[in-house]
Amino acid sequence: MSRKDFAVSVLDALEAAYPDAVCSLIAKEPWQLLCAVRLSAQCTDARVNLVTKELFEAFPTLDSLADAPIEAVENIVRPCGLFKVKAQNLKDCCQMIRDQFNGVVPDNMEDLLTLPGVGRKTANLILGDVYGKPAVVCDTHCIRICNRLGFIKTTDPYKAELGLKEILPPDRSNDFCHRLVLFGREYCTARGPKCDSCPLAILCTYHMDY
* Residues marked as catalytic: 121, 139
Using the rule CB under 6 A, which residue among 148, 172, 178, 179 binds ligand SF4?
A: 148
193 binds ligand SF4, rule: CB under 6 A: yes
Which is nearer to ligand SF4, 53 or 153 (by Cβ)?
153
Residue among 28 and 191 whose Cβ is closer to ligand SF4: 191
The answer to whether residues 106 and 48 touch, using CB atoms and an 8 Å cutoff, is no
Q: Give the total of residues touching ligand SF4 (CB under 6 A).
A: 13
93, 177, 181, 188: which one contacts ligand SF4 (CB under 6 A)? 188
In degrees rounded to 5, what are phi and psi of residue 2? -70, 165
**3-state class of 191 per DSSP?**
coil
Let me know: does 124 contact 116? Beta carbons within 8 Å: no
Rounded distance between C-alpha atoms, residue 106 and residue 187, angstroms: 35
Residue 210 beta carbon to ligand SF4: minimum distance, rounded to whole angstroms:
8
Task: Report in angstroms the alpha-carbon separations of 179 from 28, 30, 60, 121.
Answer: 21, 21, 30, 16
Q: Is 133 in the site for ligand SF4 (CB under 6 A)?
A: no
Residue 172 near ligand SF4 by CB under 6 A: no
User: Does the footprint of ligand SF4 cover residue 200 (CB under 6 A)?
Assistant: yes
- Which of these ranges, 16-24, 75-83, 110-118, 196-204, lies near ligand SF4 under the rule CB under 6 A? 196-204
What DSSP line would sit under 130-149, residue for residue? TT--------HHHHHHHHHH
Does 10 bind ligand SF4 (CB under 6 A)? Our answer is no
Could you give the CA distance from residue 114 to residue 5 in angstroms, rounded to a whole number? 36
Question: Which residues of the shown chain bind ligand SF4 in the complex (CB under 6 A)?
Answer: 148-149, 187-188, 193-195, 198, 200-201, 204, 206-207
